[in-house]
Every structure is written in structure tokens, then in C-alpha cells.
Amino acid sequence: MENFGNLMDGFGIALSFYHLALMAAGVLLGILVGVLPGLGAPNGVSLLLPLTFTMDPVSAIILLTSMYWGALFGGSTTSILFNIPGEPSSVATTFDGYPMAQQGKATQALTLAFMSAGTGALFGVVLITALSTWVAQFALKFSSPEYFAVYLLTFASFIGMGSASPFKAVVSMMLGFACAAVGMDGVSGNVRLTFGFTALISGISFLVAVIGLFGIGELLQTMEEGLRFEGLHARINIRDVFHAIYTLPKYWVTLLRSALIGCWMGITPGGPTAASFMSYGLAKRFARNKENFGKGDPNGVIAPETADHSAGTCAILPMLALGVPGSATAAVMMGGLMIWGLTPGPMLFIERPDFVWSLIASMYLGNVMAVVLVLATVPFFAAILRIPFSIIGPMIVVVCFIGAYTIAGSTLDLWLVLPFGILGYVFKKLDYPIAPMVLAMVLGDKAEDAFRQSMIFSKGSLGIFWTNSMLVASIMTIAMLLLFWPLIGKLIGRLRRAI
């Protein structure tokens, strides 16, 4: 229980008035950048970075991580209210969060999202506290075949998610892969599928596609039905918030499963994005009423949010212990670490235990504080939905385009939003599932890189995915089981009937 003692020391440092004030300031700023379009956690953290140059490292990291938590919570807000995910990892939240908001249950959706995110984060920190040394060792076991296996598992948990036509699901996912392949190929260094447009060398930004597909596509559909949000006049009061908190324990199975998936994906550096998608996929698979998913099922909000945040918190550990940042925001923080004079890596735990453990302690405090602060903003944000649609509609359009422009400061992205918007609208009306396309866009190039690196390792033999380690073999087996589950399920059903 050496870790516990260390943690108490950490609390000793983190629980000062100055540090608590920094946390509150960080969380509030974070919520602000999370909610604003085009500003995400990476922007916010890089802008605060210069301020921290003169601070002591412990205070600096507390400020930056608190901002990160705040931004994550803020990002879920826009996913639910406007169908515009702020970060890749909150895309899965839009699937059921936005339908809930449309049905007038915005307060409930927001509250559930924040509470389950908070639960997930706390679950992650507890795990970090208990297993810090072991976890860092575990992450070292991951090489390209293991990465590929994890991505395959994520895809597999999404296959067979039920749509009108399997052809349409395939078309949608493959279009996502095709978009992900545009631009420079990391393995060979060749520039693919740009057809001579140099602006495409850095690829089609996944966020631009999502803004078009979800933001504009959804608006087009709302417009077609005649200028209104359904459930516009839903009453919003603080009692709804408490009521939603009260219902949360009902979903304990989803919470627990999602937190476990999140922690697993955070430690094996699969990342929060893969975690949230996988968790959503599995929640739907295990649900009794699969038809409710995508139409505003609370489980569809709780699952991705819990997994996202537990993965996000767990990912901090390999980042500190191995020096490999799990997300863009983590990367900026690592840059900060170096400027403050710390070297991320295995020795950080030994050389600067005060830094590491006060950071972990601040993760407990910061997340609790973030949940409280963000819940206080729920009535305010939910009230936005009461603004007449003829004002809020065009405002969302402006917000979408500002968001698209700020990603890379490129006018090409402004134009790209339009075709993606039309595609999202047409696909939705024709029952093409859009989620697989987004998943493939986010993870497609990573999966391809991992696959091809593995092939270089094995000199072109596919056997590496079974022989490289026990780990990769077991993940691959689970992935295969999931992939063929519909078939296996049918087989079992037939056998039962035969008996």
C-alpha cells in the first residue's frame, strides 16, 4: 500500500487553496473552450501554456489537466445539444444524445452524460492509484500487431449493428476508409488519392467531415420538416437534474461495462476514441431493446461517455510513464513538461514522486469539481434550445463553418463541409448508417499503419497476428468471435430448436 501513502502525500500538496483555485479556473476555462466551436482542449491548453512557464510544475500541470477535464465535459455539451462533437471521442455521444435533446430530454441527457463521465473518470483514477507500476509495464508489451488487434476489435464490435441493408453498412464504412486514406501515407511516405490537389496532402480532416455529416446534415433534415425543434417548450428546471442523477444507478451494468472497456483501452494505448465507439457498440449489442439505440436511449449516452473519460484518465499513466502522449492535448502537456524541466518517462515516478502523485490527487479533485461546475451550467445550456429556430438554426450554421475553418485555417475545409452535409442528409434519409463511416475515418489510417508495420515486422506473413504474443492472439480471438457473432448466434439458436 505504498501507493496509498504516496497518494495521501499528493493530496497534501493538491489540497491547498491556491491549487483548488487553479483547478476551478482551469475547469471553467476548459468548459468554455469545449463548448465553443473550433476551440478544443488542444487549443485551450496550448494557449495557457505560456502562462505556466513561470509557475512551479505541480501548479502548472494542475491548471492544464483541469482545463482538459473541463474541455472534455464541455465537448459533450455540443454533441448533445447541436449534434456537433467537439472532440473525436465525443462523436459516439451524438448518436443517442442528440435524439434525446430533440425529444425535449436535453437536461436529462446532459446530466446523465456528465455523471457517467465523472464516474468513468473516477474509476480510471482509482485504477491508476492501485496499479500504477504494473500498468506502465503492460503498455510496453504493445507493438504494431497488438494495436491492429485492438482496432479490429473496435470495428468488430460495430459490425452487424443492424441496418436496413448490409450493403449500405459496407458502403458507408468503406467510404470512411477511403477518406482516411487521402493524404500522406505514414508507412511509405507517398501521397495518395489527392488527384493533384496539394491542399489534400494533409488529408481530409475527420472533424470537417463530422461537422458536415452530423451538423449540417441534421440541420437539412430539420429544415425539411419545417423549421422547428421538437419538444421546444420542454420545461427546464433544476429538479430534472436531480431526477436524472437519481436514475443513474439503474444503469449500473452499462456503467461498469463501459468503465472496464475504457480502462482497458486507456492502458493498452487504444485511446478514448476507440473506447467510446467500442463501448457504444457493445452496449447496443447487449441491450434488450436494440431498436431504441440511435433514437435516444440513455444507455447510448452513458456507454460512450463513461468509456471516453475512464480511457482519458487511464491514458495519462502511460503518457507519464512512457512518454507517449495518447491524444493531441496530452502531447501539448508533454511539451510543457519538458519546458518545465521534467523528462517524461519511467524515471519520472522515481525522481519526482511529488509531481506524479499530486497530479494523480488533482485528478480526483479536478474531476469532482468539473462534474459539479458543469452540472451547474446545464440549465443555462438547455435554455439555448428555447431560442426560436429561425435564429438558432443559422447560428448553428455559422458555428459549424467557424469550427471547420479553425481546424486548419483552410478555405478548402469550408467548401468540403457542404458535400459532406448533403451526403449526411441523403444517407440518413436512405437509411445508410453513418456511424461506421465516422469510425472508419477516425481509426482507418491508424489501423492500416499498424497492419502494414506488422507486415514489415513479419515480412508479409499474416501469422504474426496469432503468434506474436499471447496478448495479440487473445484480442484477435475476441475480435473474430464478435465479428462472426451474428452467425454463431444463429447457429446456437438453430441447435436449440433442434433439441
Q: Which of residues 342-361 bind other proteins (CB under 8 A)?
A: 343-348
The burial class, CB within 10 Å (0-12 / 13-18 / 19+), for 17 is: exposed
Instruction: Using the minimum distance from each CB to other proteins, give the nearer residue, 122 or 472.
Output: 472
The Cβ of residue 442 has, within 10 Å, a number of other Cβ atoms equal to 24
Residues 43-62, one symbol each (x = binds other proteins by CB under 8 A, - = not), give xx-xx-xx--xx--------
Provide the minimum distance between the beta carbon of 2 and other proteins in the complex, in angstroms, as a whole number: 18
Smallest gap, in angstroms, from Cβ of residue 36 to other proteins? Answer: 7
CB nearer other proteins, residue 103 or residue 453: 453
Are 40 and 33 within 8 A, CB to CB?
yes
Per-residue cell: 337: 513538461
| Beta carbon nearer to other proteins, 201 or 256 | 201
- C-alpha separations of 236 from 44, 142, 370 in Å: 30, 47, 21
> Cell match 463541409: residue?
417
- Binding-site string for other proteins from residue 156 to residue 185, where x marks contact by CB under 8 A and - marks none: ---------x-xx-xx--xx-xx--x-xxx
What is the H or E stretch that residue 184 is in?
A: strand 183-184
**Which parts of 222-251 interact with other proteins (CB under 8 A)?**
223-227
| Shortest CB 426 distance to other proteins, Å | 6
> Rounded to whole angstroms, how far apart are CA atoms 401 and 86?
13
3-state secondary structure of 304: helix
Q: Mask of contacts with other proteins, 389-428, x by CB under 8 A?
A: -xx-xxx-xx--xx--xx-xx-x--xx-xx-------xx-
Return d(Cα 55, Cα 77) in angstroms, integer.
31
Tell me which stretch binds other proteins (CB under 8 A): 65-73, 212-220, 242-250, 472-480. Answer: 212-220
Q: Does the footprint of other proteins cover residue 199 (CB under 8 A)?
A: yes
Q: How far is the CB of 308 from other proteins (least distance, A)?
A: 20
Binding to other proteins in span 440-469, by CB under 8 A: 448-449, 451-460
Instruction: Count CA atoms within 13 Å of residue 95 on its CB side.
Output: 32
Smallest separation (angstroms) from other proteins to the CB of 24: 18
Does residue 201 touch other proteins according to CB under 8 A? yes
Least Å distance between CB 401 and other proteins? Answer: 7
CB closer to other proteins, 47 vs 126: 47
Distance (Å, whole) CA 396 – CA 216 = 9
Q: At what angle do helices 271-286 and 298-322 cross, to 10 degrees?
A: 150
Segment contacting other proteins (CB under 8 A): 90-98, 270-278, 298-306, 334-342? 334-342
Nearer to other proteins, 12 or 388 (CB): 388
Residue from 162, 231, 323, 486 binding other proteins (CB under 8 A): 323
- Residues 260-289, interacting with other proteins (CB under 8 A): none
Listed residue (4, 45, 41) closest to 312, CA to CA: 41
Stretch touching other proteins by CB under 8 A, among 61-69, 236-244, 328-336, 375-383: 328-336
Which of 111-119, 153-161, 218-226, 229-237 is the region at the interface with other proteins (rule: CB under 8 A)? 218-226
Residue 292: C-alpha distances to residues 102, 244, 283, 301 (Å): 14, 19, 12, 12
CB of 355 to other proteins, least distance (A): 14
Binding other proteins by CB under 8 A: which of 1, 198, 291, 497?
198
Q: Are 30 and 66 in contact (CB under 8 A)?
A: yes
Q: Does 190 bind other proteins (CB under 8 A)?
A: yes
Q: Using CB under 8 A, which of 325, 366, 424, 436 touches other proteins? A: 325
User: Nearest approach, Cβ of 299 to other proteins (angstroms)?
Assistant: 30
- Interface segment toward other proteins; rule CB under 8 A; list 61-69, 93-101, 285-293, 335-343: 335-343
Q: How far is the CB of 392 from other proteins (least distance, A)?
A: 10
* 388 contributes a contact to other proteins by CB under 8 A: yes
Report how far apart the first and last C-alpha atoms of the chain are (Å, whole number).
54
- Between 1 and 190, CB nearer to other proteins: 190
314 Cβ neighbours under 8 A, 6+ residues apart? 124, 127, 128, 135, 262, 263, 265, 266, 267
d(CA 269, CA 319): 9
Closer residue to other proteins, CB minimum distance, 292 or 458: 458
CA distance 215 to 210: 7
Query: Which one of 38, 88, 270, 366 is in contact with other proteins (CB under 8 A)?
Result: 38
Nearer to other proteins, 249 or 341 (CB): 341
Reduced to 3 states, what is the DSSP secondary structure of residue 334? helix
Query: Does the footprint of other proteins cover residue 328 (CB under 8 A)?
Result: yes
Q: How many CB atoms lie within 10 A of CB 130?
A: 13
Contact (CB, 8 A) for 310 and 262: yes
Confirm if 148 and 450 have CB atoms less than 8 A apart: yes
Residue 172 CA to chain centroid, in angstroms?
A: 21
How far apart are alpha carbons 342 and 139 in whole angstroms? Answer: 21
Query: Which of 8, 140, 238, 481: binder of other proteins (CB under 8 A)?
Result: 140
Spatial neighbors of 138 by CB under 8 A, at least 6 apart, are 267, 268
